[in-house]
C-alpha cells in the first residue's frame, strides 16, 4: 500500500491466516494471533486494485515445495509462529495439516487475487477511543490499520505415477497458471485432450481463505467456482497491515507493550531446524509405519508395534521440543528473554541424542521394510513365513528341540532355516536353496515349503540348513500337548509355580525359561461378535500409550480391523461402525457376513509388558480365534474348534484361557459347553485353574457394541 500511515517503518505485514479481522481489530504480534473485535464503524479509505493477480505452479520435491509457506509469501515471523503452534493452522496455512507425503508427483498451484485495499489513519483509530477497552492483561501489541481483500488459494495436486503422463500434465498446469495470472477464462482455452489429461488428477486438496473453495476436490470445479466468486462484491481479507499500539497510543502504551523480531539469520536457522524435525516426524508417524503395516500384515506384529512405539516416542519428544522453543520465541519477542537462549537451544547436546535416536529408528524401519520385501518374495514363491520366536525357539534350545518345535506331524514340510545375517553373507547359497526347494515342490505338490526366520531369536544360527518331516530316520516326532503354567493372578507380573509339562520324548524335559525370555500365552475365546479382536486392539493401544490424552493426540493402533452394528437416536436406527483398513488387511478375514465369525483363522499377537525392572521383562502372546455360535451352524463351530485345538497343540505351553462373554448371557449355551468339553479333553482337568472370564459390552451401551 502506498498511503502514508501504512508505509511507515513501524508497520508490519501479515498474511490473513485468520480471515475474520477488520480495521481496528487488535493483534498479538508475539503469537501472531488475531484478537477479533466487533466490526466498528471506522472511517476508512478504499482503493480498487488493478492487475494484482498471481498464479504459480510449484513442484513438490523442489526447494520451493519443501518450504511452501515461504513460496506463497507468508512472512518469516508468521511462518515460525505457525510451525511452533503459536497460532492456529487455518485458512491457507492448513496446508501444514496435509496428511500426504510430498514427493516428485506432488504439484502446488497457488493463486492470489486482490480486489481492493482499505486503510484507516492513526487519527481515525484514536477517534475510536479503543484505549478505554484495552485492558492491561490484553496481550495485544498491534492494531489492524490496513486490509487487502480478495482470493487466496493453494491447491495440492497428486499426479498419477505414470511417468509418461507427467510432462503433459505439467504443461497444462503452466497453461492454467498463465491464464489465471492474466484473468482469462481458462476452461474454454483447454482442448478436449488437455481436459482429459487433467481429469486423471484424482487427488486434489484445496486450502483457501474462502471456505466454499476448500470443499472442492476437482480442478474443473475449482476453476469454475473462481470465476463465479470473482464476479461477486464480497471478499475476505488476504493481508493485514499492523501498526504498533505504542505508536498509535504513545502516551499510554509505549512502556507497556514490547515487541521484538528475531534477526534474519537466526530466524532462518530456527525455521530450517523445525522444518527438518517436522518432516522427519511426519514421515515416521504418518507414512512409513502405515506402509509397513500393509506389507507385514499378519507377520512380525511385535516388531512392527515396537517400531510404531518408537515413532510415537520420537513424536512425543518432538512435541515437547516444539513447546519449549515456542516459549523461548515468545520470551524473546516480548523482551523477557535474550536472543541467545534460542541459539543455545539449537546447539544443545540433546540434539546429538535426538539425531542418534533418529538414525536408529531409520535403521530399524529400513530393516522392517527389507523383511517385508523378503516375506513378499517368499509368498510369491509359495513359501510360508515363520518367525521362530513365535514357536518359542531360544538360546536354550538345541537341534533336537528345534525340530520338535518347528515340524508338525500332519504335514510334509521342507523348512529352510536361516536369518538376515546369513542371507546377506551367502546370497548365492540362499537363492540356490530356494530354487532347490521349489524344484522339489514341482515334483511333489503336496510339500509345504516354510522359511524359518531366526533373525529375532536368541538362538545363534551359524549355517543355513533344511529340516524335513519325512525321509529322516533320526527324527522321531510324537504328538505333543501344550502344558499349563500356573500363574498367580494377584500381581501384574506373577511368579511361576512348578510346571505341569508333558515331554515330547521320554528322555527329554524342556528347561524352565528365565524370566527375561518368558512369553505368557493366553488363548482368547468367545462367541462371534463378542469383541475378541476389539479387545486385542484395545490392549495394543493400552500398552502403546501412557494416557487417554496421548491416544486422542495420535492415530490409534489398529492391529485387526473391526466392524459392528450399533443403534443411534430415539428411533434406534442401525449403523455399521468400521475401524481400520478392511480392504487391504487380509483375505483370511470376512467382514461382509454379519453373524459369521470375522476372524477365520487363529493368529498370534505378541506384546512387550512394561516394567521398571528390566530383569522381569516379559512378553504376552494373545491368540485371536474364530468365534463360536456362528450362524453357519454347529458343524462350522466344530471345524473352528478343531482348528483352534490344532493351533494351540503347536505351543510348548499355555498360561491361561480368557473367555469373553456378553454380560446379558444368563446360562451356559450349547456352543460354550461344547467348547469347554473339547478343551478339557485336550488340556486335562488342571486347565480350569487357568480360566479367566471377561465381560464385554457394558451396560452404558445397552449390552451392545459401541
Q: Is the pLDDT of residue 474 over 60?
A: no
Question: What would the pLDDT profile of 26-55 be if each residue is shown by its tens digit?
Answer: 999 999 999 866 666 677 777 777 657 899
The lowest-confidence range among 320-329, 367-376, 641-650 is: 641-650
Q: What is the predicted pLDDT for the residue at 148?
A: 94
Q: Which of 160, 147, 261 is nearest to 209 (CA)?
A: 147
Please report how the helices 264-282 and 301-333 are oriented relative to each other, as an axis angle in degrees rounded to 10: 160
Give the mean pLDDT of the chain: 79
Q: Is the pLDDT of residue 703 over 70?
A: no
Tell me the CATH architecture of domain 515-701.
3-Layer(aba) Sandwich (3.40)
Q: Which of 520, 487, 514 is nearest to 619 (CA)?
A: 520
Q: What is the DSSP letter of 447?
A: -
**What span, in angstroms and rounded, lies between the C-alpha atoms of 524 and 543?**
18
Q: Pick the residue with more confidence: 393 or 363? A: 393
Q: Pick the residue with more confidence: 667 or 272? A: 272
Q: What is the predicted pLDDT for the residue at 560?
A: 83
Q: Is the pLDDT of residue 522 over 70?
A: yes
Q: What is the predicted pLDDT for the residue at 292?
A: 63
Contact between 94 and 206 (Cβ < 8 Å): no
Residue 449 confidence class, pLDDT cut points 50, 70, 90: very high
Q: What is the predicted pLDDT for the residue at 526?
A: 86
The lowest-confidence range among 337-346, 443-452, 602-611 is: 602-611
Q: Pick the residue with more confidence: 475 or 62? A: 62
Residue 177 confidence class, pLDDT cut points 50, 70, 90: very high
Question: What would the pLDDT profile of 580-635 be if each residue is shown by its tens digit?
Answer: 765 555 545 555 555 455 677 888 888 887 654 555 567 888 998 888 776 666 77
Beta-strand pair 618-624/603-609: antiparallel
Residue 75 confidence class, pLDDT cut points 50, 70, 90: very high
Question: 378-397 in b/e burial notation, b at 16+ Cβ within 10 A?
Answer: beeeebebbbbbbbbbbeeb
Contacts of 79 (CB under 8 A, 6+ apart): 69, 70, 271
Contacts of 229 (CB under 8 A, 6+ apart): 151, 210, 212, 213, 235
Q: What is the DSSP letter of 337?
A: S
Q: What is the predicted pLDDT for the residue at 472?
A: 39
Q: Is the pLDDT of residue 217 over 60?
A: yes
Q: How wide is the angle at C-alpha 370 spanned by C-alphas 367 and 376, nearest 5°?
A: 140
**What span, in angstroms and rounded, lies between the C-alpha atoms of 21 and 237?**
7
Q: What is the predicted pLDDT for the residue at 27?
A: 93
Number of H helices, E strands in the chain: 22, 22
Question: What would the pLDDT profile of 388-434 be if each residue is shown by its tens digit?
Answer: 998 999 988 888 888 888 987 667 888 999 999 999 998 998 999 99
The lowest-confidence range among 306-310, 374-378, 440-444, 612-616 is: 612-616
Longest CA–CA span in the chain (Å) reads 104
Q: How far apart are the first and last CA of the chain?
A: 57
Q: Which of 537, 531, 692 is nearest to 598 (CA)?
A: 531
CA distances, 103 to each of 55, 58, 62, 83, 563 (Å): 21, 12, 9, 20, 34
Q: Is the pLDDT of residue 308 over 80?
A: no
The lowest-confidence range among 179-183, 270-274, 305-309, 328-332 is: 305-309
Q: Which of 292, 298, 295, 372 is nearest to 601 (CA)?
A: 298
Q: What is the predicted pLDDT for the residue at 638?
A: 77
**What span, in angstroms and rounded, lies between the C-alpha atoms of 432 and 437?**
9
Cα-based torsion angle of the residue sequence 190, 192, 198, 202 in order, rounded to the nearest 10 degrees: 140
Per the DSSP assignment, residues forming a β-bridge with 150 are 114
How large a percentage of the chain has pLDDT more than 70? 77
Residue 547 confidence class, pLDDT cut points 50, 70, 90: confident
User: Where are the chain's structural domains?
Assistant: 5-253, 264-370, 381-477, 515-701
Q: Pick the residue with more confidence: 197 or 687? A: 197
Q: What is the predicted pLDDT for the residue at 186?
A: 75
CA atoms in the 13 A half-sphere facing the CB of 484: 18
Q: Pick the residue with more confidence: 383 or 549? A: 383
Amino acid at each position: 500500500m502506498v498511503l502514508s500511515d501504512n508505509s511507515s517503518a513501524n508497520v508490519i505485514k501479515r498474511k490473513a491466516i485468520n480471515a475474520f479481522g477488520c480495521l481496528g481489530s487488535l493483534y498479538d504480534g508475539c503469537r501472531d494471533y488475531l484478537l477479533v473485535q466487533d466490526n466498528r464503524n471506522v472511517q476508512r479509505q478504499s482503493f480498487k486494485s488493478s492487475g494484482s493477480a498471481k498464479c504459480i505452479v510449484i513442484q513438490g520435491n523442489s526447494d520451493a515445495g519443501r518450504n511452501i509457506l515461504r513460496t506463497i509469501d507468508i512472512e518469516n515471523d508468521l511462518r515460525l509462529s505457525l510451525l511452533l503452534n503459536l497460532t492456529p493452522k487455518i485458512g491457507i496455512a492448513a496446508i501444514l495439516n496435509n496428511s500426504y507425503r510430498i514427493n516428485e508427483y506432488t504439484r502446488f498451484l497457488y493463486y492470489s487475487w486482490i480486489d481492493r485495499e482499505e486503510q484507516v489513519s492513526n487519527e481515525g483509530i484514536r477517534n475510536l477511543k479503543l484505549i478505554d477497552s484495552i485492558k492491561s492483561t490484553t496481550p495485544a501489541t498491534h492494531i489492524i490499520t490496513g486490509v487487502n481483500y480478495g482470493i487466496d488459494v493453494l491447491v495440492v495436486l497428486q499426479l498419477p505415477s505414470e511417468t509418461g503422463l507427467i510432462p503433459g500434465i505439467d504443461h497444462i498446469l503452466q497453461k492454467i497458471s498463465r491464464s489465471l495470472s492474466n484473468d482469462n477464462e481458462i476452461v474454454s482455452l483447454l482442448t478436449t485432450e488437455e481436459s482429459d489429461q487433467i481429469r486423471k488428477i484424482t487427488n486434489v486438496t484445496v486450502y483457501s481463505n474462502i471456505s466454499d473453495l476448500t470443499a472442492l476436490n476437482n480442478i474443473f470445479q475449482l476453476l469454475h467456482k473462481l470465476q463465479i466468486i470473482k464476479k461477486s462484491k464480497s471478499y475476505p481479507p488476504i493481508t493485514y497491515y499492523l501498526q504498533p499500539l505504542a505508536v498509535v497510543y504513545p502516551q499510554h502504551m509505549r512502556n507497556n507493550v514490547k515487541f521484538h523480531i528475531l534477526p534474519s539469520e537466526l530466524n532462518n536457522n530456527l525455521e530450517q531446524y523445525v522444518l527438518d524435525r517436522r518432516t522427519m516426524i511426519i514421515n515416521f508417524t504418518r507414512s512409513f509405519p502405515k506402509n509397513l503395516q500393509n506389507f507385514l500384515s499378519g507377520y512380525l506384529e511385535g516388531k512392527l508395534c515396537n517400531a510404531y512405539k518408537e515413532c510415537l516416542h520420537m513424536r512425543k519428544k518432538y512435541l515437547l521440543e516444539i513447546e519449549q522453543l515456542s516459549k523461548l520465541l515468545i520470551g524473546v519477542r516480548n523482551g523477557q528473554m535474550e536472543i541467545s537462549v534460542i541459539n543455545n537451544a539449537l546447539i544443545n547436546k540433546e540434539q546429538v541424542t535426538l539425531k542418534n535416536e533418529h538414525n536408529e529408528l531409520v535403521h530399524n524401519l529400513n530393516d522392517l521394510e527389507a523383511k517385508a520385501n523378503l516375506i513378499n518374495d517368499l509368498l510369491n514363491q509359495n513359501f510360508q513365513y515363520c518367525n521362530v520366536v513365535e514357536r518359542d525357539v531360544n538360546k536354550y534350545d538345541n537341534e533336537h528341540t528345534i525340530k520338535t518345535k518347528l515340524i508338525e506331524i500332519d504335514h510334509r514340510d521342507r523348512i529352510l532355516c536361516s536369518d538376515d545375517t546369513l542371507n546377506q553373507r551367502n546370497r548365492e547359497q540362499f537363492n540356490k536353496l530356494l530354487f532347490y526347494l521349489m524344484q522339489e515342490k514341482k515334483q511333489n505338490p503336496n510339500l509345504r515349503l516354510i522359511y524359518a526366520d531366526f533373525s529375532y531369536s536368541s538362538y545363534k544360527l551359524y549355517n543355513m540348513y533344511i529340516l524335513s518331516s519325512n525321509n529322516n530316520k533320526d527324527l522321531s516326532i510324537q504328538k505333543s500337548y501344550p502344558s499349563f503354567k500356573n500363574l498367580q493372578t494377584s500381581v501384574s507380573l506373577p511368579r511361576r509355580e512348578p510346571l505341569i509339562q508333558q515331554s515330547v520324548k521320554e528322555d527329554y524335559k524342556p528347561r524352565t525359561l528365565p524370566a527375561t525370555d518368558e512369553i505368557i500365552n493366553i488363548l482368547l475365546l468367545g462367541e462371534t461378535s463378542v469383541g475378541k479382536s476389539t479387545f486385542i486392539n484395545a490392549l495394543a493401544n493400552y500398552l502403546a500409550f501412557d494416557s487417554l490424552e496421548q491416544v486422542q493426540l495420535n492415530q490409534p493402533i489398529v492391529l485387526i480391523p473391526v466392524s459392528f452394528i450399533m443403534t443411534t437416536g430415539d428411533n434406534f436406527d442401525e449403523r455399521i461402525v468400521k475401524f481400520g483398513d478392511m480392504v487391504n488387511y487380509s483375505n483370511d478375514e470376512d467382514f461382509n457376513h454379519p453373524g459369521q465369525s470375522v476372524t477365520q483363522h487363529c493368529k498370534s499377537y505378541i506384546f512387550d509388558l512394561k516394567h521398571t525392572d528390566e530383569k522381569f521383562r516379559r512378553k504376552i502372546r494373545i491368540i485371536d480365534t474364530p468365534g463360536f455360535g456362528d450362524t453357519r451352524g454347529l458343524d462350522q463351530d466344530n471345524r473352528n474348534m478343531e482348528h483352534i485345538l490344532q493351533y494351540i497343540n503347536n505351543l510348548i505351553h499355555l498360561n491361561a484361557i480368557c473367555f469373553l462373554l456378553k454380560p446379558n448371557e444368563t446360562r451356559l449355551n450349547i456352543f460354550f459347553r461344547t467348547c469347554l468339553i473339547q478343551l478339557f479333553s485336550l488340556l486335562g482337568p488342571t486347565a480350569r485353574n487357568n480360566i479367566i472370564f471377561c465381560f464385554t459390552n457394558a451396560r452404558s451401551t445397552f449390552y451392545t457394541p459401541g
